[in-house]
């Protein structure tokens, strides 16, 4: 997977963060919630996404910004 080869619309990303802030993803790490919400398990190359899935907090936001282009 090329760096920042995946794109997420900023409004959709903001909606996800709002849901996170509301506590919708109970008992999930931020990276796990992001991975599940955007159904990233459908992507063929999961190598780079594993660390995102395992991440939480600020580490997750950094991983998202490295892997995805938010437009």
Spans of all domains in the chain: 6-70
Determine the pLDDT at residue 4. Answer: 54
d(CA 9, CA 27): 26
Determine the pLDDT at residue 47. Answer: 85
Environment class of 35 (CB within 10 Å of its CB; exposed 0-12, middle 13-18, buried 19+): buried
On whether the CB atoms of residues 20 and 33 are closer than 8 A, the answer is yes
Determine the pLDDT at residue 33. Answer: 97
Determine the pLDDT at residue 46. Answer: 86
Please give the model's pTM, rounded to 2 decimal places: 0.88
What tens digit of pLDDT does each residue of 32-70 get? 999 999 999 998 888 889 899 999 999 999 999 999 999
Q: Which helix (H) or strand (E) holds 12?
A: helix 10-21
């Amino acid at each position: 997977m090329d760096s920042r080869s995946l794109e997420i619309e900023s409004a959709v990303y903001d909606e996800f963060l709002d849901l996170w802030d509301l506590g919708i993803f109970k008992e999930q790490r931020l990276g796990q919630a992001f991975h599940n919400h955007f159904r990233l398990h459908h992507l063929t190359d999961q190598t780079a996404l594993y660390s995102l899935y395992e991440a939480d907090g600020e580490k997750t936001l950094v991983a998202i910004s490295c892997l995805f282009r938010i437009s």
